[in-house]
């Protein structure tokens, strides 16, 4: 499948960051020389911008031409305490937002920009000059955890393991005591109604209703501690995918909120033939998820039995060493973004039956997975293809 021409032949050019847009139709890659954007379903290069300097973070505004850029790598293009809003249709900077310390993360929509620092999250209006709207204090957040939709802004609380949920229409803030240890991953569903969280232990994933803060479910990734790489809801919100340093892609059922949009069912084409790469099959251990929780969905911390993923499949984590959270905490604000650890296992759902998993670093890999259901009700998850997107 690796037929696309070489973008960069030198192995000295790793991918510093990788991130999907809102609907996972494209993903952006930060490089030591600029950035590039790929069409996700076939891993086709769409855009490449050469700055002859590095970008540690690149985040797209949906399918628009605006991107949020933060300098990184061996020779950063921009100061690492600035977010640059780049208008790619004009090939120039639209405006910039300066911070006092290094930017750890950034989110962008048509109306708002969120700048994440180690101990704070700052919200701005998307306009020139950018108008400050709010500032929120957080616990240490070196990973830059934050999610932004048109309705909600979600980020770590002031206490490790807690989550702050801001309803943007009213500016009201809710605090969710999601975990007893520091957060490792946060993810909102496409409509913003569901929130998935994982801690640095990486054994339990919790799912909340963002409007009420009610805990809807717990899903067990495994019994051994792991570093969660990525969480991502399917487009309908009926499933949640997870990757970790254990090298497996898991898919979990998600209990349905009482809403019309939740009635979308999974596709049920035949199971692929045996011998397919990375094939894993299994039944659905929580097939009654629609009504399973009942009145318990309104109880924040009711009793939950262990529910594992209904299907899983290996993915490539690469051979590059990953720093754990303890090592991450030793980093100062002068740490170079994009050089502390290569991002791996970033998930994007193309539709209800296909997923993409991409990673940064020297082994910058794209993998496509297909979810199928057979006539016997058993599900199969298999890898349809892969390629190194920065090499032949």
pLDDT at 306: 81
Confidence band for 292, pLDDT divided at 50, 70 and 90: very low
Give me the phi and psi of 229, to 5 degrees please.
-90, -45
Confidence band for 12, pLDDT divided at 50, 70 and 90: low
Confidence band for 337, pLDDT divided at 50, 70 and 90: very low
Average pLDDT, the chain: 84
Which range, of 60-69, 129-138, 147-156, 338-347, averages the lowest pLDDT?
A: 338-347
Rounded CA-CA distance 159/180 in Å is 9
- The per-residue pLDDT for range 228-251, each reduced to its tens digit, is 999 999 999 999 999 999 999 999
What are the residues whose beta carbons fall under 8 Å from the beta carbon of 111, sequence distance 6 or more? 125, 126, 150
**Model-level pTM?**
0.84
Closest of 96, 105, 97 to residue 138, by C-alpha = 105
Let me know if domain 15-388 sits in CATH 2.130.10.10.
Answer: yes
Examine the pLDDT at 25 and tell me if it is beyond 80: yes
Examine the pLDDT at 217 and tell me if it is beyond 50: yes
pLDDT at 389: 95
pLDDT at 85: 98
Rounded CA-CA distance 103/144 in Å is 8
- The per-residue pLDDT for range 166-188, each reduced to its tens digit, is 999 999 999 999 999 999 999 99
Rounded CA-CA distance 147/166 in Å is 10
- The per-residue pLDDT for range 116-137, each reduced to its tens digit, is 999 999 999 999 999 999 999 9
Our CA dihedral for 177, 57, 338, 73, rounded to 10 degrees, sits at -160
In the three-class reduction of DSSP (H, G, I as helix; E, B as strand; rest coil), residue 326 is classed as helix
Which range, of 10-14, 161-165, 223-227, averages the lowest pLDDT?
A: 10-14
Confidence band for 256, pLDDT divided at 50, 70 and 90: confident
pLDDT at 319: 76
Closest of 155, 142, 99 to residue 329, by C-alpha = 142
Rounded CA-CA distance 256/238 in Å is 7
Beta sheet of 26-31, edge-to-edge order: 15-20, 26-31, 34-39, 44-50
- The per-residue pLDDT for range 352-362, each reduced to its tens digit, is 999 999 999 98
Closest of 249, 165, 251, 262 to residue 214, by C-alpha = 165
pLDDT at 4: 44
pLDDT at 374: 84
pLDDT at 267: 44
């Amino acid at each position: 499948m690796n037929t696309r021409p070489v973008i960069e032949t030198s192995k000295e050019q790793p991918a510093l960051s990788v991130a999907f847009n809102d609907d996972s139709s494209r993903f952006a890659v930060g490089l030591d020389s600029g950035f590039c954007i790929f069409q996700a379903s076939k891993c086709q290069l769409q855009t490449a911008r050469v700055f002859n300097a590095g970008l540690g973070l690149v985040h797209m505004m949906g399918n628009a031409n605006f991107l949020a850029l933060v300098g990184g790598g061996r020779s950063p293009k921009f100061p690492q305490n600035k977010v640059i809003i780049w208008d790619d249709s004009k090939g120039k900077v639209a405006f910039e937002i300066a911070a006092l310390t290094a930017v750890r993360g950034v989110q962008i929509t048509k109306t708002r920009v969120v700048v994440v620092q180690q101990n704070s999250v700052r919200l701005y209006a998307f306009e020139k000059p950018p108008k400050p709207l709010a500032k929120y204090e957080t616990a240490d957040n070196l990973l830059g955890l934050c999610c932004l939709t048109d309705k909600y802004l979600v980020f770590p609380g002031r206490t490790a393991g807690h989550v702050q949920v801001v309803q943007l229409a009213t500016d009201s803030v809710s605090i969710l005591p999601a975990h007893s240890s520091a957060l490792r991953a946060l993810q909102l569903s496409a409509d913003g109604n569901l929130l998935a969280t994982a801690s640095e232990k990486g054994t339990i994933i919790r799912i909340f209703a963002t409007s009420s803060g009610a805990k809807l479910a717990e899903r067990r990734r495994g019994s051994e501690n792991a570093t969660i790489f990525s969480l991502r809801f399917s487009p309908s919100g009926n499933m949640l995918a997870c990757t970790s340093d254990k090298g497996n892609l898991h898919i979990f059922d998600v209990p349905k909120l009482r809403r019309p949009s939740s009635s979308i069912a999974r596709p049920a084409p035949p199971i692929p033939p045996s011998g397919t790469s990375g094939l894993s099959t299994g039944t659905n251990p929580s097939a009654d998820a629609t009504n399973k929780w009942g009145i318990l969905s309104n109880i924040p911390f009711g009793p939950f039995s262990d529910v594992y993923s209904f299907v899983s499949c290996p993915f490539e984590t690469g051979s590059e060493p990953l720093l754990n959270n303890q090592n991450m905490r030793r980093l100062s604000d002068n740490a170079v973004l994009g050089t502390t650890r290569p991002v791996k296992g970033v998930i994007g759902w193309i539709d209800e039956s296909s997923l993409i998993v991409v990673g940064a670093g020297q082994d910058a890999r794209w993998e496509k997975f297909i979810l199928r259901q057979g006539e016997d009700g058993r599900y199969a998850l298999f890898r349809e293809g892969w390629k190194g997107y920065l090499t032949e």
